[in-house]
Chain A
Amino acid sequence: MSPTYDVAVIGGGIVGAAVARLLGGTACSTVLIEGRADVGDGTSKANTAILHTGFDATPGTLESGLVARGYHLLGDYAAATGIPVERTGALLVAWTREQLDALPGLRAKAERNGYTACELIDTSQVYHQVPALGPGALGGLTVPGESIICTWTTNLALATDAVNRGVTLLRGHRVTGVRADGGTTWLTTTAGDVGARWVVNAAGLGADIVDGLFGYHRFTVTPRRGELLVFDKLARPMAPRIVLPVPSKAGKGVLISPTIYGNVMLGPTAEDLDDRTATGTTAEGFAFLRAKGMELMPALLREEVTAAYAGLRAAIDRDDYLIDVDDDRRYVLIGGIRSTGLSAGMAIAEHVGGLLAAHLDLTERDGLPAPPRMPNLGEAGPRPYQDAAAIAADPEYGRIVCFCERVTRGEIRDAYASVIPPADLAGLRRRTRAMNGRCQGFFCGAEVSARVAHGGPR
């Protein structure tokens, strides 16, 4: 008979990992079940990696409150764990009269969301803040608190913390069925059954399907594909802060953002699909982004493209998060968590903890392990290849394997020795940045794949 847990959390994305981490800090025995081979391999890996203040949420919604709260929780947690964050600030730029007229309303909305630092600025101030912008900007609204963050490290830190706190992590366990047996819910997975008293559904793109296994038909996840172009690091000075579009009737527009790894990102597109695995890029998407980019920042388009991504966001047919507790079935749904879930994740966990406290003893245990110290993947702080003391103590930090991203053999070794080691090349890339650079493997691909094939350093 398989072991049963007090709580099973389905989904090892940011939300699921945050919930598991919270539960791991209590007396509850907890299992975190991930369908894919790695945590953070779904919607959590391919978002725009912005730590949102929540200034533009719909006031009064659950999302509004949780993003605002999560912004601070994750900011503090990042400081404690070393998740890279850069406090760049954001600028909404108005390119039409209609957009310009909308800015004061957006500032008022931000204030209703509890965010009061926005300022209206004129054209010359816009170009002073982002000189590389194309011609025609009419004015802007600053959002100084918007920041960039490493979404991969966020997910990994939360999951690592959960495991350190005693949570059982099961990767490669896709939930395919649900069976109630007295006080235990049995989850059928592709790698064996898992039993738990309570089940938390944080399955992201698959949340509606898991909800259906519990007999519910209350929402549908529409995979919304967002394609992104990532430009070369040499373009980074052009994007000193996040340049956001002003939402208008014509659509949401695309943003230009510096990335925590020192690149510049342009995107995303927004395309509703039926296929929940359609993460391919398209010629139409590229053409759209290039046309948008030519208007927003023509000089950026002269730089090399380092990578092109397509991520899927879990859009649902309602305008807020859908978090609900079914006392009878001991089942919690965390649905409709779109791209703001990165910022809100820890607050969502706290909120769910509050809802569950009526049923479970969620008092924090004494003697919890310290939060994990994560490797720095960001350009804002020193990386191992720049750290004379680290290299002197361990020459492997001086042996650069991936030249473009300056990833050392020491970091690759550490990733394989970590609490949640990579399952494949993509996992190694998310943990170290190896092969993510401008050459995309021309120089280091063979060396890095050799390390993956050997499951770590030889």
Chain B
Amino acid sequence: MTGHVRVAVVGGGPAGLAAAAALAPRVDGPVLVLEREAATGGIPRHSDHLGYGMRDLHRFVSGPEYGRRLTARAAAAGATLETEAMVTGWAGDRTLEITSPRGRRTVTADAVVLATGARERPRAARLIPGDRPDGVLTTGQLQQLVHLHHRTVGTRAVVVGAELVSWSAVLTLRAAGCRTVLMTSEFPRPEAYAAFHLPGRLALRVPVRTRTRVVAIHGRDRVTAVDVEDLRTGRRSRVACDTVITTADWIPDHELARLAGLALDPATLGPQVDTALATSRPGVFAAGNLLHPVDTADVAALDGRHVAAAVLAHLSGTAAPPGPPIELVADAPLRWVAPQLLRPGGPAPARGRLLAWTDEFHRFPGVTAHQDGRRIGSARLAWPAAPGRALRIPFSVVRAARPGDGPVHLGLSV
């Protein structure tokens, strides 16, 4: 079985649904969203608490409600949303292999948008040693267990990480009747927004131990305890618990990007893209947390909206032939920046912002851009740079970059 569509969007989360909603009314042919889960909506579907939709829908709704609204918009725009349809590989440059209960088939698209998102590194990928009992979960698994399957977890949890998603895990645990007895963070201060963190800590009464990490898990069938090491002193203590949630530590779900042989950014591990969100393969685009693991769902959705312009230009044949790009490089303490390529004459990135990830906290960070040893731009930000959440950098700092002068280095100045 084979088919043809104008646009295939892989992934029916916020980025993919927003891309489909933006494209469907303006494309002269089918726009097909392929979602491997039984419902579209993506990760927000599993996060049954408020905080979604502020930047894109100007609403303040729950994750599931947000997923439903994005789904309704894409469907109303005329996109075809196919669920339980997993893209398992490529049969050509823009030809996808798809398995669903309706059959095994290939679909060739004139343009492909990859919006496959990101996942948390599980325990094994973090190399946390010890026994291998039940009760060690990622936030994603926890939230599906509790919110989609209405299962209980344990009664005493240790949450590894203190990022936004970690607090989301605490809320889910509380909803399931499980108390969080400790959150660990390797950073000197908790990563999450101060605004969420302080009331969060007070309201939820969760002790956060900074500069610590879980170094062993104990338990035969079920977790009984973890060992927590203080990174300053090396001292270890045992904390009794029956549940361990490994949170954050995101990695893009980049399998399709890699199988396609797309150029990857070594720092994000997602596909390397320019500010129009074009990948290294003509007609293949990417959006959302596949590119920046991770920012909030609404920022992913705005990526989806942003990618539409480049997709339309590609479909109409009016896309300018890509000039030689200028590469953006993140200098420590920045870990990555996205997008990574500037093209002369190219658009500003989504929301006029570059996204970056920092390993150090700065309350009022300055951002500088250097090219060929020369400072080409700088800005003092009104928001902190904090580990565990994306740092938004005004595109203006790199606007003066010149082709042929080599890569642009982005850094923080205190």
Contacts and interface: CB of A to CB of B under 8 A. Distances in A.
Interface stretch (B130-138, B318-326, B386-394): B130-138
B129 A283 contact: yes
Contact of B104 (A385, A396, A450): A385
Contact of A306 (B101, B124, B137, B220): B124
A446 interface: yes
B137 A445 contact: yes
A234 B255 contact: yes
Contact of B125 (A305, A398, A425, A447): A305
A279 B132 contact: yes
Given A285-B129, A406-B86, A308 B104 contact: no
A109 interface: no
Contact of A439 (B86, B122, B129): B122
Interface residues of B, number: 41
Nearest to A286: B127
Contacts of B130: 280-282
Contacts of A425: 134
Contacts of B104: 385-388, 391, 398
A386 B101 CA distance: 12
A305 B127 contact: yes
Contacts of B145: 445-446, 449
B149 interface: yes
Interface string B1-27: 100000000000000000000000000
B137 A308 contact: no
Contact of A441 (B137, B251, B255): B137
Contact of A443 (B84, B124, B134, B140): B140
Contacts of A286: 127, 129
A400 interface: yes
Contacts of A443: 37, 119, 140, 144
A304 B121 contact: yes
A216 interface: no
A386 B122 contact: no
Nearest to B86: A400
Contacts of B131: 279-280
Contacts of B99: 385-386, 391, 398, 400, 406
B129 A403 contact: no
A388 B98 CA distance: 10
B409 interface: no
A450 B151 contact: yes
A283 B130 CA distance: 8
A403 B37 CA distance: 9
A379 B127 CA distance: 26
A136 interface: no
Contact of A308 (B86, B88, B124): B124
Contacts of B374: none
B215 interface: yes
A194 to B, nearest CB: 26
A308 B122 contact: no
Given A281-B132, A282-B129, A439 B215 contact: no
Given A283-B215, A385-B99, A450-B151, A304 B125 contact: yes
B298 interface: no
A331 B56 CA distance: 75
B168 interface: no
Contacts of A386: 88, 99, 104
A458 to B, nearest CB: 11
A385 B122 CA distance: 25
A90 B153 CA distance: 45
Interface in A390-439: 391-392, 395-396, 398-400, 403, 406, 425, 438-439
B124 A440 contact: yes
Nearest to B103: A391
A153 B125 CA distance: 26
Contacts of A395: 101-102
B204 interface: no
Nearest to A409: B101
Interface in A351-392: 385-388, 391-392
A400 B36 contact: yes
A445 B129 contact: no
Nearest to B126: A305
Interface string B29-57: 00000001100000000000000000000
B251 A398 contact: no
Contact of B127 (A234, A279, A308): A308
B258 interface: yes
Interface in B76-108: 84, 86, 88, 99-105
Contact of B151 (A280, A391, A439, A446): A446
Contacts of A387: 104
Contacts of A234: 255, 258
A311 to B, nearest CB: 11
B222 interface: no
B102 A440 contact: no
Interface centre among B119, B124, B134, B137 (most CB of A within 10 A): B124
Contact of A396 (B1, B37, B101): B101
Contact of A442 (B37, B86, B132, B140): B140
A307 B140 contact: no
A402 to B, nearest CB: 10
Contacts of A396: 101
Best-surrounded residue of B99, B144, B148 (most CB of chain A within 10 A): B99
A176 interface: no
B237 interface: no
Contacts of B84: 398-400
A399 B101 contact: yes
Given A282-B129, A285-B129, A441 B101 contact: no
Interface string B222-262: 00000000000000000000000000000100010010000
Nearest to B216: A283
Contacts of A230: 124
Nearest to B120: A442
Contacts of A440: 122-125, 138
B141 interface: yes
Interface string B300-335: 000000000000000000000000000000000000
Most A Cβ at <10 Å: residue of B101, B105, B215:
B101
Interface string B276-309: 0000000000000000000000000000000000
A142 to B, nearest CB: 30
B103 A392 contact: yes
Nearest to B140: A442
A282 B131 CA distance: 9
A406 B88 contact: yes
Nearest to A406: B88
A233 to B, nearest CB: 8
A385 B129 contact: no
Nearest to A445: B141
Given A306-B124, A391-B101, A400-B36, A447 B129 contact: no
Contacts of B132: 279-281
A307 B128 CA distance: 11
B129 A441 contact: no
A391 B101 CA distance: 7
Top 5 closest A-B pairs, CB basis?
A: A440-B122, A446-B144, A395-B101, A445-B141, A442-B140
8 contacts: A305-B124, A306-B125, A386-B99, A388-B1, A388-B103, A398-B102, A400-B84, A445-B137
Given A395-B101, A440-B123, 20 more contacts: A233-B255, A282-B129, A304-B251, A308-B124, A385-B88, A388-B104, A388-B105, A399-B101, A400-B84, A403-B86, A406-B88, A438-B125, A439-B138, A440-B124, A441-B137, A442-B120, A445-B137, A446-B148, A447-B149, A449-B145
